[in-house]
Amino acid sequence: MKKLFILIITVFLISCQEKPIVVPLLIYNMGDNYMSDFENRIQELNGTRVIYETYDCQNSQIIQNEYIEQLMKDNYPLLIINPVDRLSVYAIINKAIETNTKIIFINREPLKSDMQLDSDLYYIGADAKQSAELQAEIVMELFGNNPNQLNTFDKNDDGIIQAFILKGEQGHQDAEARTQYVIETLLDNDFEVDVLDITIANFDMLTAVLAMDQHIEKYGNQFEVVLANNDAMAIGAIESLINHEYFLDSNEDGIIDRDLEQWVPVIGIDGLDIAIEMIQNGYLYGTVLNDSQAMVEAIDALTVSLLINNSLNGFDYQITDGQYIWIDYQKLIFE
């Protein structure tokens, strides 16, 4: 009898334990290096309170819409969405309003006018202009910080920085702002810049290898720096530059000794682990950390506030305009 009583109590207690809340996480394309790293970090947060369930939208807005429709039918209270096409979230937002679903958008920022349609919408991301300004700072430091007297990185000694820009996806807020403001920041600081070419390489490593191959064929060694909108493209450019012997690891120790061996400056944005490794071994000159760890922590904190605490009171981040949580970028160069 006593045993039966204990069993009943145990079953009762187990059934009273709260199950973790499942939150769907829709990634625009898991083939994207930065987003797959981002997703890994979110998965590491899975615990007793929240389980994030990943959906790979394979770079298709149609696939993403189908997932969203089903998830809303299934009454998930919150979706985390990395939109495939950030300009077409209007329909998604209207469905969210109809079904009373909260949304945290990440990484690909919807239009402000769409965000303003409902107060249950949030965006967690980073201000692309800041990444461009920091990338420009790395360039200015590289060239000696004095626009009137560039150092020896001004190879042809004309007082002008000759640059290639590898641009991300057309229309993506990061690609547009990083390209525009890296140039503007240099000009605002009185540096003269001659952009030899801006090529759209869609944030993609392989596309960047091909783009860089073509640049080298067309311009030879006229360029003095390669500015990539992200690390994947910077790494692609380096691969092409290695193939064309712009990097020469003469003693074959796997490291470019910048004082003794041949190299050219390539600068990225994102701070992927592999990019940090390449900074340490001398191939990548620098990058700007697009702080995914800080972003996923903010996402988790907001999820807990919205779904478990039902209040933003203990939410420890600044919310701008009632909807935006901005995470700072940081410069990363070899010290």
Residues that bind ligand GAL (CB under 6 A): 32, 34-35, 107-108, 168, 172, 174, 203, 230, 232, 269-270, 290
Residue 32 or 133: which CB sits closer to ligand GAL?
A: 32
CB of 290 to ligand GAL, least distance (A): 5
Q: Report the C-alpha gap between 236 and 228 in whole angstroms.
A: 10
Residue 140 or 235: which CB sits closer to ligand GAL?
A: 235
Residue 101 or 290: which CB sits closer to ligand GAL?
A: 290
First to last CA, the chain: 71
CB of 298 to ligand GAL, least distance (A): 15
CB of 35 to ligand GAL, least distance (A): 5
Residue 185 or 290: which CB sits closer to ligand GAL?
A: 290
Burial bucket for residue 133 (CB in 10 Å: 0-12, 13-18, 19+): buried
Residue 130 or 230: which CB sits closer to ligand GAL?
A: 230
Residue 89 or 150: which CB sits closer to ligand GAL?
A: 89
- Torsions phi, psi of 288, nearest 5? -125, 125
CB of 81 to ligand GAL, least distance (A): 12
CB of 107 to ligand GAL, least distance (A): 5
Q: Amino acid letter at 1?
A: M
CB of 321 to ligand GAL, least distance (A): 20
Kindly report the length of the chain: 335
Q: Report the C-alpha gap between 23 and 106 in whole angstroms.
A: 14
Contact 248, 267 (CB under 8 A): no
